[in-house]
Structure 1
Amino acid sequence: MKGISYSSYGGPEALAYGDVRDPRVGPDSVLVKVRAAAVNPVDWKCREGYMDRLIEPVFPVVPGWDVAGVVVQPGVSVTEFGVGDEVIGYVREDFLSRGTFAEYVAAPVRTLARKPRNLTWEEAAGLPLVGLTAYQVLTRVLQVKRDETVLVHAAAGGVGSIAVQLARHLGARVIGTASERNHDFVRGLGGEPVEYGDGLTERVRGLAPEGVNAAFDTVGGDALKASANLLAPEGRLVSIADPDVVDYGGRYYFVRPDAEDLLRLSELAEQGVVTVHVSETFPLERAADAHRLNQEGRTRGKIVVTVDWDTEEAATPDGLWQEQGQEAEGAE
């Protein structure tokens, strides 16, 4: 099959489009025909080796953890999904190798949920990682309550834009940092925008003189320091960008796959509570350009790569599925 891969750490130029190994479908996995896969900052951080101590690579690596697609082959133990089911997934394993930037991915069922019916493939692909991050941080770690004030950094970005919507759904007031060009966008999500940079602490204090009950840092550095200084007594602080958050009495959090959480996000999307803004799409063969744009760090919402199946149906690895199915039957 065709896909994107890199054989060593490096910049976007390390990404190559071409033939990659066909996925093997384990008993608890399904083969997903990829329609779209979203780009996240963690993708280029993995590609450049910044995550090496946390996640071991098995080269060549197919990047990507987010996916939206169609189930074409369930594993022999799978009852949750059948052929033709439309799914989304945060397909992360504990090593880097078998990602979603390819025509097909073998996805463990623990990473999947049904696709929201009202979202396009591109929008659906942009939901899993950022949605799970925002949902888990707000509901499990920060435990945001009604009428609290929450500070969300990078409120126009992938995680931030979902966090604003979810926090508002929980009944909280949301103050969100964003560049001036994104202020109307943040207001449309239900947040109160404030400008980045010098004077941030004073600007937030002007809106919340007694401080914020919870701060969600997605940036690190100065934003983290400002968040710590803006907390009300008993305020809570979480960062997904800077492990130094523990020095300020907060918690560092790394999102985990969770099928139940992802299904809840799918339901919220269908209810109109959560929307996904896709800023730009690229065909799969231009994934390097998608990485470059994401790495600039100024994206509103999500960047997504797509697979054009109108021209690539011939790549279907039918023989692989049949062979694996026969092997499984023989094993029984």
Structure 2
Amino acid sequence: MQQHDDTLRDGTSRAVLLDAFGGPEVLALKEVPEPRAGDGQIRVRVSAAGLNPMDWFMTSDAETAARFGLGLPCGFGTDYAGVVDQVGDGVSGYAVGDRVFGAALSRAVADHVVLDANGDITTGVAHPTPDGVDDRTAATLAIAGSTAAAALDVLRLGPDDTVLIGGAGGGVGVFAVQLARIAGARVIGTGSPSSAEHLRGLGAEPVAYGAGLADRVRGLGAGTVTAALDLYGTDTVHIARELGVPDDRVCTIAGQVDGVPAATGANAAPDALTEIARLVATDRLRVPVAAVYPVEEIRAAVELQAARHVRGKVVIDLHPGS
């Protein structure tokens, strides 16, 4: 698995690739031809890449990969942060040396990513990294931050709301809880008993998931729960209905229930990530980084992230400090 940067041949770089779809065991760090920025493109030297559940879900089998337009050989990871080191002809708004973060669908865990300057998540997208936000943190923002923002846009939270967030301690939950609190809402977050302090630190009132959840929520003296966000599946949707929350004030991101809105990062407002990065830079929103792995240990990192018990984000280092 070892493939150190200083042993590469000229004109090559490293990328995590899959020659077959499957679990962490199929991930391999390989030497590849160094990509170049073409017309209308920029190239980013990646400092860090953040992991998301969608990364291993998309590449778990051929049928799922095809739904996302992925074929073999395939890259891995979507969130990245780094520094622009090439600017193609016809590009404005970017310069060599600019710090950026963003998303490059299933190809972010690599020494370099090439993006369309006016692209989207498929062709790659870049946002300026504000001063005060380090690259490891910036590498966690794109997918989880935009997904949380899109879901909260559905719920339209305000100071009169109490929102139940299922799976509040995970990667999207980190953002959803804090953005809901910034909107003025009271937040009740589900998690394991051992995650209670983590949830309190984010601003949520913790409650253990599982049988009897509705009664435990009532036992908090929560009054009327007015909204709910299910970040894991559909269990929280059914609890919300039991608590009397109307379907149009419930949202899912990982499951579908008839009559209940669903959100993805693609639905986020155009300025959502700029605002999230500003909140991080001004210390109004924090992103707990649960673990950092060198790229050579990508398999171990994905195993940890895929276990779905991580409190915060998992980050891969490619060029730390660059």
Other-structure match for 1:330: none
Mapped pair 1:183 → 2:191: no
Query: For residues 224 and 305 of structure 1, what CA distance do their matches in structure 2 show?
Result: 33
Other-structure match for 1:116: 130
Are the equivalent residues in 1 in contact too, given 2:133–2:277 (CA < 8 A)? no
Mapped pair 1:192 → 2:205: yes
Other-structure match for 2:32: 20
- Residue 8 of structure 1 and its aligned partner are, at CA, apart by 1.7
Query: CA-to-partner distance for each residue in 1:223-278, whole Å, 9 max, x for gaps?
Result: 332233234357511111112x2x2x211222127762221111111121211110
Assess, with a 3 A threshold, how the Cα gap between structure 1 residues 231 and 284 changes in structure 2: closer, same or farther: farther
| Matched residue type, 1:46 | M
Are the equivalent residues in 2 in contact too, given 1:215–1:231 (CA < 8 A)? no
Residue in structure 2 matching 1:45, options 24, 32, 57:
57
Other-structure match for 1:151: 164
| Matched residue type, 2:265 | V
Residue in structure 2 matching 1:31, options 43, 54, 57:
43
- Residue 91 of structure 1 and its aligned partner are, at CA, apart by 2.3
- Residue 303 of structure 1 and its aligned partner are, at CA, apart by 0.4
Assess, with a 3 A threshold, how the Cα gap between structure 1 residues 251 and 144 changes in structure 2: closer, same or farther: same
Are the equivalent residues in 1 in contact too, given 2:59–2:65 (CA < 8 A)? no
Other-structure match for 1:105: 113
Are the equivalent residues in 1 in contact too, given 2:166–2:231 (CA < 8 A)? yes
Other-structure match for 2:254: 241
| Matched residue type, 1:36 | A
Assess, with a 3 A threshold, how the Cα gap between structure 1 residues 15 and 177 changes in structure 2: closer, same or farther: same
Q: Where does 1:118-133 land on structure 2 (aligned, <5 Å)?
A: 118-133=132-147
Q: Structure 2: where are the runs of 5+ without partners?
A: 1-12, 120-124
| Matched residue type, 1:260 | D
Query: For residues 211 and 90 of structure 1, what CA distance do their matches in structure 2 show?
Result: 38
Are the equivalent residues in 1 in contact too, given 2:150–2:264 (CA < 8 A)? no
Query: For residues 33 and 53 of structure 2, what CA distance do their matches in structure 1 show?
Result: 25
Query: For residues 25 and 43 of structure 2, what CA distance do their matches in structure 1 show?
Result: 29
Mean alpha-carbon deviation: is it higher for 125-134 or for 231-240? 231-240
Other-structure match for 2:263: 253
- Residue 306 of structure 1 and its aligned partner are, at CA, apart by 0.5
Residue in structure 2 matching 1:218, options 231, 236, 259:
231
Assess, with a 3 A threshold, how the Cα gap between structure 1 residues 205 and 54 changes in structure 2: closer, same or farther: farther
Residue in structure 2 matching 1:295, options 306, 313, 317:
306
Q: What TM-score do the two structures reach when normalised by structure 2? A: 0.87
Assess, with a 3 A threshold, how the Cα gap between structure 1 residues 261 and 75 changes in structure 2: closer, same or farther: farther
Query: CA-to-partner distance for each residue in 1:58-89, whole Å, 9 max, x for gaps?
Result: 32111111001001112323222211111110
Assess, with a 3 A threshold, how the Cα gap between structure 1 residues 13 and 23 changes in structure 2: closer, same or farther: same
- Residue 54 of structure 1 and its aligned partner are, at CA, apart by 2.6
Are the equivalent residues in 2 in contact too, given 1:88–1:114 (CA < 8 A)? yes
Q: Structure 1: where are the runs of 5+ without partners?
A: 314-332
Query: For residues 45 and 76 of structure 1, what CA distance do their matches in structure 2 show?
Result: 36
Residue in structure 2 matching 1:137, options 145, 151, 165:
151
Query: For residues 187 and 23 of structure 1, what CA distance do their matches in structure 2 show?
Result: 44
| Matched residue type, 2:34 | D
Are the equivalent residues in 1 in contact too, given 2:228–2:236 (CA < 8 A)? no
Identity value in percent: 36
Mapped pair 1:277 → 2:308: no
Are the equivalent residues in 2 in contact too, given 1:33–1:71 (CA < 8 A)? yes
Please give the root-mean-square deviation of Cα atoms over the aligned residues, in Å: 2.1
Are the equivalent residues in 2 in contact too, given 1:214–1:231 (CA < 8 A)? no
| Matched residue type, 1:90 | A
Query: For residues 320 and 263 of structure 2, what CA distance do their matches in structure 1 show?
Result: 37
Assess, with a 3 A threshold, how the Cα gap between structure 1 residues 149 and 308 changes in structure 2: closer, same or farther: same
